[in-house]
Structure 1
Amino acid sequence: MSTPVLERTAETSVPLLDVLAERWSPRAFDPTSPIDEAKLTAALEAARWAPSASNTQPWRFIVARRGTDLHATIDGALVGFNREWAGNAQVLVAAFAEETDADGNPRPWAQYDLGQAVAHLSVQAHADGLFTHQMGGVDREALRALPGVDERFTPVSVIALGELGDASALSEKLQERETAPRLRRPLDETIIASA
């Protein structure tokens, strides 16, 4: 299915790389097309090569393709209006931070590093023509019950990943969000101090 891409390029104060300015988080995912496995692997590989403190790589992912029981389970762990649209994504990725090492020592930077890995994943996916939408609205206890998750792994978010779908298939409320102007706080309000 070929869905026209909405013009969503950010109006930035200075020029950015196209892949950054054009990246956005849709809610309309194509509910029928399969995932391109090579593009999915590239996105996960980009996450693998993200920087981390002392190269600890304190991130873990559970990757669930649409049509599998695992996808349905992760979709069932979503809360709020995420339940209305995220199940259409070709892939749901549950993201975990490894907040302690194998010896029980804390890794206070783990969620920060996970965020970097997810950012790399989302930029690579966008560069390859896929879209991502990160969600914090999730039942974390349900994610803790997923296979392979041990006590070191803190569930943080779920990422919907796949090809863009038709926004007109969304509810009216979600269509409004899908097409609303992209806004960010001005840069001078983001920087607390600069010398």
Structure 2
Amino acid sequence: MSRSPDHPINSMFFERWSPRSFTGEAIPDAVLQSAFEAARWAPSAMNAQPWRFLLARPGDEHWQTFIDVMMPRNRLWAAKASALVVILSERQLDRRDERVDNHSHSFDAGAAWANFAHQALLLGWHTHGIGGFDNDAARERLAVPDDFAIEAMIALGRQGGIEALHADFHVGEAPNGRRPLAETVFAGTLDVSAFAEEEEAA
């Protein structure tokens, strides 16, 4: 589908989408460093910067582990990515000489992921966030400490053609739309009737 925003925004925001077809070509170090640099400048509570990234590329020591912890359907396409990333976030932060819970650690890591995805797109590379993986297996096999949450995985690569993608995913391999702002932004309180009207229309 063709995407068109309802209000003026930079085109990178609606040109970014999440393909599953990747060419598998090698990704330059400079591209990865640029994307991670963009993530580094994301905002965070008290500048705690709770995000951490684990990286693997085909042929690396941990590549197969990254693939193995995914749900089987995700392995069908993610194995052709040029890089895989695991996003972590630190659950606590230092505040006034005290170690306290950071209630926005996931929120802040999400901001870093958005920066990463958009910078990659500006360089001609696509990303696909992955929630379908075995969290416990990832924690054990990648030696992630308990004080870090495992938020998501990212597949990164050059977009490939539909012919390179497993047939199970052909139908959904296109940019999707977004609900209108009238169903997303509310004055003061949440208008639940908007959700009821949306369900009735469906």
Task: Identify whether the pair has TM-score above 0.5, normalized to the shorter chain.
Answer: yes
Counterpart residue number, 2:8: 15
Structure 1 residue runs of 5 or longer lacking an equivalent are: 1-7
Counterpart residue number, 2:183: 189
Matched pairs, number:
186
Q: How does 1:1-40 map to 2 (within 5 A)?
A: 10-31=3-24, 33-40=25-32
Instruction: State the alpha-carbon separation in 2 of the partners of residues 120 and 9 from structure 1.
Output: 23
- Secondary structure at the aligned position of 1:68 is classed as coil
Instruction: State the alpha-carbon separation in 2 of the partners of residues 44 and 57 from structure 1.
Output: 13
Aligned partner (choices 163, 169, 176) of residue 174 of structure 1: 169
Change (3 A) 1:56 1:109: same
Q: What are the Cα deviations for residues 134-154 of structure 1, in whole angstroms up to 9, with x where unaligned?
A: 011111112212445212111
- Secondary structure at the aligned position of 1:85 is classed as helix
**TM-score, normalised relative to structure 2:** 0.85
In the alignment, is the contact (CA less than 8 A) between 2:88 and 2:152 conserved in 1? yes
Higher Rg: 2
Counterpart residue number, 1:5: none
- Are residues 1:73 and 2:73 paired? no
- Secondary structure at the aligned position of 2:85 is classed as strand
Query: How far does residue 9 in structure 1 lie from its aligned partner after superposition?
Result: 5.4
**TM-score, normalised relative to structure 1:** 0.88
Aligned partner (choices 121, 124, 137) of residue 126 of structure 1: 121
Counterpart residue number, 2:54: 62
Q: Which moved more, 1:127-136 or 1:64-73?
A: 64-73
In the alignment, is the contact (CA less than 8 A) between 1:134 and 1:158 conserved in 2? yes
Counterpart residue number, 1:145: 140
Could you say what the CA RMSD is over the residues aligned between the two structures, in angstroms? 1.9
In the alignment, is the contact (CA less than 8 A) between 1:9 and 1:21 conserved in 2? no
AA matched with 2:83? V
Percent identity among equivalent residues?
A: 38
Query: How far does residue 171 in structure 1 lie from its aligned partner after superposition?
Result: 2.4
In the alignment, is the contact (CA less than 8 A) between 1:101 and 1:152 conserved in 2? no
